[in-house]
Amino acid sequence: MANIQDVAKHAGVSISTVSRVLNGTAKVNIDVRRRVEASMQALNYMPNPAARSLRTNRSRIIGLLISDIQNPFFMRLIQGVEEEALHHEYSLILCNSNENPQREQQYLDVLYAERVAGAIIVPTRERLGEATLSKFRERQIPIVAVDRRVKDKDVDAVLVDNVRGAFEAISHLITNGYRRIGAITGPMTVTTGRDRLEGYRQALFEAGIPHDPALERSGTFDAATGRRLTDELLELDPPVDAIFSGNNLLTLGALDAIHAHNLQVPNDIALVGYDETYWSSLSSLSLTTVMQPAYELGRTAALRLFQHLQNPSIHTRQEVVLAPTLEIRGSSLPKDVRQLKAQA
């Protein structure tokens, strides 16, 4: 098996030049770099990542810690991070906290121990904590929050404007004649849950519709919670005439509850979701939904991370906010059109 000395001899350069090519720690003449890379390929030389990370105190690996591997939204986000990482010739470690702050902390400790170059995290809590951040800061390992913001001053965030997304969804329902609109959203411990509820409230306020806390439900972002919260809304007297669902898994649960009550969308009740999935546009459902730029969200978070890696002196916290779009389909037909269809 070839070693670094063999590569240096084959390329006609010093061992330190090969090391600089491998580590990217200094500029190397492009012709020399190509000669070294050609020698590595010819000799089938594979650098030892563990040894490299010990030399540089950093690997060419970034960690991505998401909150729910079952959520299709995160698949596109992962793709965005991964492709940008590969473009920069970095590998990716994927971790799943499963919305568990203790597991999240365990994975942060693992990423630190593995000497990752940087970390991108979908946080499950409002603060990662100074104890964690100081360790990462000592090794100049940047952290970027994605999808949800944290209050820690050193952590950049790449987000979607969830207040705007929910506002547009509810405004659309109001324009279509709905007034008793229920909302099922995520936990109030994360910004995605709070911001989408805030957008719901703002739209009602601007339309002059009184705030009714009985129409608001929150819980974890999963299908079982979506069904339970929708059951509660459908059992109100009078019942809701439309439901806004705060993510795609909640929407699945909402649909299950609606069918269990022998109701149909949109004939009996309107439904607007949040997040685009492969089943949203199926003709049997045709779900109106707030579409998040999940791929671009991941890619932008990775770009910000690499800005920190290329310029470790950056200390100004930055928040990047991307715009969602409302995709209007058949699940939120105007109320008068729905009534005409029922009479036909």
Does 308 share its domain with 189?
A: no
Q: In the predicted model, what is the mean pLDDT of the chain? A: 89
pLDDT score for 317: 82
pLDDT band at residue 27, thresholds of 50, 70 and 90? confident
Torsion of CA 186, 187, 189, 194, to 10 degrees: 50
Residues 131 and 82 grouped into a single domain: yes
Give the number of domains in the chain. Answer: 3
Instruction: Report the half-sphere exposure of 144 (CA within 13 A, side-chain side).
Output: 30
* CB hemisphere CA count around 261 (13 angstroms): 22
Q: Is 90 exceeded by the pLDDT of residue 16?
A: no
pLDDT average, residue stretch 329-341:
79
User: Residue 182: is its pLDDT beyond 80?
Assistant: yes
Whether residues 252 and 333 share a domain: the answer is yes
Query: Mind giving me the DSSP string for 86-124?
Result: HHTT-EEEEEE-TT-HHHHHHHHHHHHHTT-SEEEE--S
> Does residue 217 sit in the same domain as residue 175?
yes
Same domain, 206 and 339: yes
Helices 15-23 and 4-11 cross at an angle (nearest 10°) of 110
Q: Are 263 and 123 found together in one domain?
A: no
187-237 per-position pLDDT tens digit: 999 999 999 999 999 999 999 999 999 999 999 999 999 999 999 999 999
- Residues 332, 273 within the same domain: yes
Residue 43 pLDDT > 90, yes or no?
Answer: no
**Is residue 53's pLDDT more than 70?**
no
The CATH number of whichever domain residue 11 belongs to comes to: 1.10.260.40
Q: Which of 255, 149, 242 is nearest to 204 (CA)?
A: 242
Are 89 and 117 spatial neighbours (Cβ–Cβ below 8 Å)? no
Distance CA 136, CA 143 (A): 8
pLDDT of residue 75: 93
Please tell me the distance from the alpha carbon of residue 259 to that of residue 271, in angstroms, as a whole number. 12
CA distance linking residue 269 with residue 243, whole number of Å: 8
Question: What's the confidence (pLDDT) of residue 24?
Answer: 61
Instruction: Tell me the pLDDT band of 54, cut-offs 50, 70 and 90.
Output: very low
How far lies 281's CA from each of 8, 170, 211, 245, 269, in Å?
Answer: 57, 19, 31, 16, 18
- 101: confidence class by pLDDT, cuts 50, 70, 90: very high
Predicted local distance difference test score (pLDDT) of residue 4: 81
Structural domain including 12 reads 4-47
130 shares a domain with 198: no
Q: Same structural domain for residues 67 and 141?
A: yes
pLDDT at 30: 84
> What is the percent of the chain with per-residue pLDDT over 70, rounded to a whole number?
91
Task: Tell me: do 135 and 121 sit in the same domain.
Answer: yes
- What CATH number should be reported for the domain holding residue 94? 3.40.50.2300
Indicate whether 49 pLDDT > 60: no
What pTM value is reported for the model? Answer: 0.81
Say whether both 267 and 166 belong to one domain: yes
Do 111 and 232 belong together in one domain? no
